[in-house]
Amino acid sequence: MSSVKRAKFLVTACLILIAAAVSASPALADAKRVALVIGNNDYENVPKLQKAVNDADAVAAELSKLGFDVVKAENVGQKAMSRAVNELETKIGSGDTVLFYFAGHGFAVDGTNYLLPVDVPEAGPGEEGIVRDASFAATGLSDRLQQKGAGTVILILDACRDNPFALKGGRSIGLTRGLSRMDPTEGMFVLFSAGQGQSALDRLSETDSNPNSVFTRTLLTEMAAPGQSMVQIAKKTQSKVRELAAKVDHVQVPAYYDQIVGDLYLVPGGAANGAAGTIASLEEGGDAGVLPPAERKIGVETSAPSPLASFMRSNSGWTVNVSLPEAATQFGYRVGEQGEFTDAGLLDVLDQRTGQRMPKTYFELPPDQGKTKLYVTWRDKRGEQADVFPINFDPSGALANEQKKILEELWTAWVSFRDFNGRLVYFSHLITYRCAIKEVRYGLDQAPPDKVFKLPPCDVLDPHSVPEDATILIKVPPKTAGMNVQLTYVDGTKSPVRSFSAKTSRD
């Protein structure tokens, strides 16, 4: 046997022995996945919420699909919330993975985050103790779960809303909005719906009828995607929520704190699925934001995932958001084949994975930037330089992709009915995001969408403006009760046929 074959044989044998040892480990074989999901809307003494219970229902259903044994509680007071935590504790065995999700009011005072039951009393300046005694400290809950033997604890808190005890024109207890950062112990992963001092949006606008909050609707999509580690889920949720909030001039960047050693997957067999998914993606060439394998740095072999890029268009130009596959201490980019890399700078946020300020992983491009190739690189937590990764930028394709996502997310705003000298139907929303649309078809009442509403042409340099001569509405018979609408996107796909009620729209 040659030395090369002998080395391969020894490596393979070692891997088989390791796999057999892991499979035979009683602790791993017997480990369970349990979760407690709480949603509180109906607060008695502080402002009520609208979507926390919906969020809890949706998360509980998704976790059940992922194999978690779920305890769910809704609109619970202090005693019922305590009983729910106790019920979860009875299910925890040594080495189990435990997930705690809370949607409702949160409150931060003196660096500690409290989760509020629905019967929390009113409190004013100097009465912080009342709230502490009637609420649940997030750190205390996580400590309890670990003391019961949990090997891994995941806290997901959609509680970064405005301070429910805020007083108009006066001093209030706690932070004005949001929660304080957390420093989890080893074996914990914490995900907040917004960063420190930020408030989380329930909805993007009054016409946004999505049943879930901006954070949770995004999180659910990422949770359902196989092959993603918890860090990848958090990073993609972070990036997408930031983009959605920016569209309504709001700053919301979900924060996460990771003290898990190794990779953590919500989907059973996540690591294997992730590897298979990566191979399939590379064989197909990847999408516009993923590095094709042939374009990696020449002579360098790497198994690290490629960065992901998303593009957001505003009146001032393009924002390129890059999600890195690892913790970084520096990030740089270059536009085009030649020239020096630009250091994007640092955020005023410490990354506990590195102990240093987190680098900005986004940068701006001018509104008239043409089709080009972007290059990004970074330094990891050890200061080592990563490969140089190219990202293809096509302004027309990026604009169409971004606007398509908005249209699918906010489809309830496609058309609106108004009664003014007859019954009118406005297509303003579709006109605003017309660069993603090839054709709009509609049908009145129960008729199929067989009529065409003509949109003005897309102007890539000024995509959101509406031409003065554009037709933005049609007049329909006064007794029209509704409309069916279907879009054909510029990428050739079609939307579902969406139905709109004249009564609901006018109300």
Domain boundaries, the chain: 26-258, 288-393, 402-506
CB atoms within 10 A of CB 221: 14
Answer yes or no: CATH 2.60.40.10 is held by domain 288-393. Answer: yes
What is the pLDDT at residue 268? 55
Q: Which residues, at least 6 apart from 197, have a Cβ–Cβ distance to it below 8 Å?
A: 175, 176, 177, 178
Return averaged pLDDT per consecutive 10 residues of the chain, 507 residues in all. 42 36 37 92 89 94 92 91 92 93 86 88 73 85 90 90 52 51 86 85 85 93 87 93 90 89 72 35 31 31 67 88 91 93 90 88 93 93 84 92 91 92 92 94 95 93 86 93 95 94 70
What is the pLDDT at residue 275? 35
What is the pLDDT at residue 305? 66
Its CATH architecture, for the domain 26-258, is: 3-Layer(aba) Sandwich (3.40)
What is the pLDDT at residue 162? 64
Taking the C-alpha atoms of residue 275 and residue 293, their distance in angstroms, rounded to an integer, is 15
The string over 425-440, giving b where at least 16 C-beta atoms fall within 10 Å of a residue's C-beta and e elsewhere, is bbbebbbbbbbbbeeb
Report the helix count and the strand count for the chain, using DSSP H and E: 12, 25
What is the pLDDT at residue 198? 83
What is the pLDDT at residue 506? 54
Taking the C-alpha atoms of residue 114 and residue 179, their distance in angstroms, rounded to an integer, is 9
Q: Classify 420 as helix, strand or coil.
A: coil
What is the pLDDT at residue 493? 95
Residue type, 484: N
Taking the C-alpha atoms of residue 506 and residue 480, their distance in angstroms, rounded to an integer, is 12
Residue 360 tokens read as 């900005």
Angle formed at CA 455 by CA 450 and CA 456, multiple of 5 degrees: 160
What is the pLDDT at residue 386? 84
Taking the C-alpha atoms of residue 167 and residue 179, their distance in angstroms, rounded to an integer, is 18
Taking the C-alpha atoms of residue 219 and residue 233, their distance in angstroms, rounded to an integer, is 7
**E strand or H helix at 349:** strand 346-351
Taking the C-alpha atoms of residue 261 and residue 396, their distance in angstroms, rounded to an integer, is 42
What is the pLDDT at residue 225? 82
Taking the C-alpha atoms of residue 294 and residue 483, their distance in angstroms, rounded to an integer, is 49
Single out the residue of 199, 260, 201 nearest to residue 234, CA to CA. Answer: 260
